[in-house]
Amino acid sequence: MIYTKTEIPDLWLIEPMVYGDERGYFMEVFKKTDFQLNIGTFDFVQDNESRSTQGVWRGLHYQLEPYAQAKLVRVIQGTILDVAVDIRIGSPTFGKFVAVELSGDNKHQLFIPKGFAHGFYVMSDFAVFIYKVDNPYMPAYERAIRYNDPFIGIDRDKHWGHTAVMSDKDRYAPLLSEAENNFQYQMR
């Protein structure tokens, strides 16, 4: 696998080596020793899967400490625009985001550490999205930030160009400046 830092150094794009022939393909999706060597030690405790139709926006979601989640995300069918926003108070990249295309074809993965809000937009007819997390889902600690917060600057017209289908929770989420947030940036 190829591990590449994004514009926000704590976010990693992971490209697997895919071996294919006329029968199909094989790839390693996760190898603990390689992951630890390149990114660090994380104890993933839960795998999640969602299926969404074209035009759906999910996010920007996160869980507060002590139940914050690091995520390793990928798409097995379809194509999404995956977005991670740095919400760590004091971070030099606070409020900045990275957007990458993840698809069943490119097989790329994105590692999103704790302290980031996460969301995605479905670009294909549908997408099946799977991800590993290092803390279980805790509804009482889940929070959201509005995708079109001008401070963050995700431009719907530039990034996906269509009206998004979303839940009321996402549509009416607070702006980053109003959102409950207990993440502090830790210099490494």
Name the residue type at position 15. E
The position carrying tokens 């985001």 is 97
Give the Cα separation of 50 and 59 in Å (integer): 13
- Catalytic residue IDs: 61, 131
Q: Which of 72, 75, 17, 68 is nearest to 39 (CA)?
A: 72
Task: Count helices and strands (H / E) in the chain.
Answer: 3, 13
Name every residue whose Cβ is closer than 8 Å to that of residue 114 and which is 6 or more positions away in sequence.
Answer: 65, 68, 69, 70, 183
Q: Which of 143, 146, 107, 142 is nearest to 128 (CA)?
A: 107
Measured in degrees and rounded to the nearest 5, phi and psi for residue 142 equal -75, 140
